[in-house]
């Protein structure tokens, strides 16, 4: 029985330790190399979606020349269908602060920032109160690392790390050219570690449990657990912490309503998996990665409408600076409408598929590059819905 069930995990939202900031207190007594070794051993990869090995990111930043360095927690949770960071920050903020502080110690930063999504402003009083406690504890254990919260203003693009820095610096939120990467040139041009909220919590849990324990969960490529935001046509929407590397069909068995036609894994910038591929799809970095969003669609849904909605979102939320993203998104959305209306032959979809591929290759940042994910996976798998 148990192997048909998904492995529910309770790491992230689990109880705090009895002593405030115990893990942090213990961890800062260890050497930076030990901490990094544990992180590397744990196989932790970033939880924002891209999955860059966290230990490497920290190591590069620690090695980067420069006196002043920063830790930034990306809490600009804007991906449609994702709402797990909100939950983490409201339920276990101390774990986030601890993860950031550990990072600060490892890379040699004295200041950390949480870039909080504008729409999450309501979390601010509670978080600031909690931060007071953190600062007291940090002082008590002799840790020179302060954390400040910065509010976004509602732009999806500011979740892109370099646009986030621009926004924090008071500029228009536009992605920068890369290289240089944040590890050498981040906030204010200084070496910066920027990680997702969940990543910092994971770091903290690895420090508490040790890498061996952490590694027991997940697969070779996707270690540990992940907090999923489950939404759409499901009787039990909500936030679930599950082991990584699960097959999608089991997920659908558990969360679907019995009529699941497709699952959008990773939000608007993620991939759409149709029913026939559920069995062969693994949720994790070796299969379909996700920042946490799992949207289920049953057969009553029009995939054309779903895609149109996503494209409309990208069309609005593109910063507009680079050509492939600014114009490409408009062309894709208007293009599928033209095909649907019969203004363009259905072969035009092939043209649009090629265009989305070009966008993936040439856009300046992750936003424009990932439009092709949902576009090509929906158009490819639900072509008849696009045409008729």
Partner 1 sequence: MKNTKIETIKQINLTIDGIQVSVDEGTTILNAARQLNIHIPTLCFHEDLCVAGNCRVCIVEQEKVKSLPASCATPAAEGMVIHTNSMKVRLARKHIVELLLSEHNADCTKCYKNGICELQGLASQMLTGDHMFLDLVPDHKYSIDMFNTAIIKDDSRCIRCQRCVRTCEELQGVSALGVAYRGNHMKISTFYEHPLFEVVCTNCGQCVNRCPTGALIERNYIDQVWDAIYDPTKHVVVQTAPAVRIALGEALGMPPGKIVTGKMVTALKRLGFDSVLDTDFTADLTIIEEGNELLTRLKKALLDKDPNVSLPMATSCSPGWIKFIEHTFPELLGNLSTCKSPQQMFGALVKTYYCQKRKLDAKNVVSVSIMPCTAKKFEANRPEMRSSGYKDVDFVLTTRELGIMIKQAGLDFEELPEEHFDSLMGSSTGAAVIFGTTGGVMEAAIRTVYEVVTGREIPFEGLNITPVRGTEGEVREASLKIEKVKPEWSFLEGVELKCVVANGLAHAKKVMQDVKDGKANYHFIEIMACPGGCLGGGGQPIPTNKEIRTKRKEAIYEEDMGMSIRKSHENPEVQLIYKEFLGHPLGHKSHELLHTHYTPRKRY
Q: Which long-range contacts (CB under 8 A, 24 or more apart) does 54-61 make?
A: 54/195, 54/199, 54/202, 54/203, 57/183, 57/193, 57/195, 58/103, 58/106, 58/107, 58/193, 60/181, 60/183, 60/184, 61/107, 61/182, 61/183, 61/184, 61/191, 61/192, 61/193
Nearer CB in complex with partner 1: 218/270: 270
CA-CA distance, 169 to 310, in Å (whole number)? 29
Query: Cis link prior to 179 (omega < 30° from 0)?
Result: yes
Contact between 8 and partner 1 (CB under 8 A)?
A: no
User: CB 330 → partner 1: shortest distance, Å?
Assistant: 5
Q: Does 376 bind partner 1 (CB under 8 A)?
A: no
Number of residues located near partner 1, criterion CB under 8 A: 37
Q: What's the closest the beta carbon of residue 342 comes to partner 1, in angstroms?
A: 14
Going through 34-160 in order, the beta strands assigned E by DSSP cover 70-75, 111-116, 146-151
The least distance separating partner 1 from the CB of residue 315, rounded to whole angstroms, comes to 5
Answer yes or no whether residue 308 interacts with partner 1 by CB under 8 A.
no
> One symbol per residue from 106 to 145: x for binding partner 1 (CB under 8 A), - otherwise; what is it?
----------------------------------------
Question: Smallest distance from the beta carbon of 354 to partner 1, in angstroms?
Answer: 7
- Residue from 330, 340, 346, 353 in contact with partner 1 (CB under 8 A): 330
CB within 8 Å of 306: residues ≥ 6 apart: 264, 272, 297, 378
Under 8 Å between Cβ of 311 and 333: yes
Phi/psi at 269 (5° precision): -95, 5
Q: Contact at 8 Å (CB) between 355 and 328?
A: yes
Tell which one of 355, 372, 378, 386 touches partner 1 (CB under 8 A).
355
Q: Which positions from 138 to 177 touch partner 1 by CB under 8 A, shown as an x/- string?
A: -----------------x-x--------------x-x--x
Give the separation between CA 147 and CA 158, rounded to whole angstroms: 19
3-state secondary structure 333-366: HHHHHHHHHCCCCCCHHHHHHHHHHHHHHHCCCH
- For residue 84, give both structure tokens: 């797990």
Nearest in space to 112 (alpha carbons), one of 194, 173, 172: 194
**Least Å distance between CB 369 and partner 1?**
7
For partner 1, the closer CB: 70 or 313: 313
- Counting contacts by CB under 8 A, is residue 324 touching partner 1? yes
At closest approach, how far in Å is the CB of 144 from partner 1?
35
Judged by beta carbon, residue 64 or residue 244, the one nearer partner 1 is 64
Q: Which stretch binds partner 1 (CB under 8 A): 9-17, 52-60, 118-126, 316-324?
A: 316-324
320 binds partner 1 (CB under 8 A): yes
Rounded Cα distance between 223 and 214, Å, is 7
Judge contact between 89 and 75, C-beta under 8 A: yes
Given 6, 50, 282, 327, the residue binding partner 1 (CB under 8 A):
327
- Chosen residue from 21, 267, 360, 374 binding partner 1 by CB under 8 A: 360
Rounded-to-integer distance, Cα 388 and Cα 385, Å: 6
Backbone angles phi, psi at 230, to 5 degrees: -100, 125
120 near 77, Cβ under 8 Å?
A: yes
For 285, which DSSP code? T
- Closer residue to partner 1, CB minimum distance, 177 or 300: 177
Q: Which stretch binds partner 1 (CB under 8 A): 95-103, 219-227, 252-260, 324-332?
A: 324-332
**329 lies in the site for partner 1, by CB under 8 A:** yes
Rounded least distance, CB 63 to partner 1, Å: 18
Contact region for partner 1 (CB under 8 A) — 18-26, 124-132, 225-233, 311-319? 311-319
338 binds partner 1 (CB under 8 A): yes
Nearest Cα residue to 48 out of 75, 70, 26: 75
Query: Judged by CB under 8 A, which of 33, 148, 257, 316 binds partner 1?
Result: 316
Which residues of the shown chain bind partner 1 in the complex (CB under 8 A)? 155, 157, 172, 174, 177, 179, 314-324, 326-331, 334-335, 338, 344, 351, 354-355, 358, 360-364, 369
């Amino acid at each position: 029985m148990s192997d048909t069930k998904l492995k529910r995990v309770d790491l992230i939202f689990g109880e705090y330790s009895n002593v405030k900031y115990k893990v942090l207190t213990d961890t800062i007594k260890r050497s930076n190399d030990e901490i990094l070794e544990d992180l590397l051993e744990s196989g932790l990869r970033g939880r924002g979606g891209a999955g860059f090995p966290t230990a490497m990111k920290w190591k590069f930043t620690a090695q980067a020349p420069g006196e002043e360095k920063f830790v930034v927690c990306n809490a600009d949770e804007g991906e449609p269908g994702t709402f797990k960071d909100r939950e983490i920050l409201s339920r276990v903020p101390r774990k986030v602060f601890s993860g950031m502080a550990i990072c600060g110690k490892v890379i040699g930063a004295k200041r950390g920032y949480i870039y909080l999504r504008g729409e999450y402003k309501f979390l601010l009083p509670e978080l600031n109160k909690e931060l007071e406690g953190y600062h007291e504890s940090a002082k008590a254990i002799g840790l020179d690392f302060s954390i400040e919260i910065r509010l976004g203003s509602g732009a999806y693009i500011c979740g892109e790390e370099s646009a986030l820095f621009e926004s924090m610096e008071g500029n228009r939120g536009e992605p920068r050219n890369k290289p240089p990467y944040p590890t050498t040139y981040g906030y204010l041009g200084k070496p910066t570690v920027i990680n997702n909220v969940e990543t910092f919590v994971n770091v903290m849990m690895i420090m508490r449990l040790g890498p061996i324990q952490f590694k027991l969960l997940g697969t070779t490529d996707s270690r540990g657990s992940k907090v999923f935001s489950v939404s759409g046509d499901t009787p039990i929407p909500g936030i679930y912490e599950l082991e990584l590397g699960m097959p999608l069909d089991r997920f659908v068995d558990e969360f679907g309503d019995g009529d699941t036609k497709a699952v959008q894994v990773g939000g608007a910038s993620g991939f759409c998996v149709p029913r026939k591929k559920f069995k062969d799809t693994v949720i994790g970095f070796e299969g379909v990665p996700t920042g946490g969003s799992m949207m289920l669609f049953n057969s009553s849904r029009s995939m054309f409408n779903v895609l149109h909605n996503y494209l409309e979102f990208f069309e609005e939320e593109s910063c507009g600076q680079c050509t492939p993203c600014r114009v490409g998104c408009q062309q894709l959305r208007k293009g599928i409408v033209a095909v649907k209306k019969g203004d363009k032959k259905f072969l035009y979809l092939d043209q649009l598929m090629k265009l989305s591929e070009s966008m993936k290759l040439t856009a300046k940042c992750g936003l424009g590059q990932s439009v092709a994910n949902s576009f090509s996976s929906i158009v490819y798998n639900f072509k008849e819905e696009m045409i008729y």
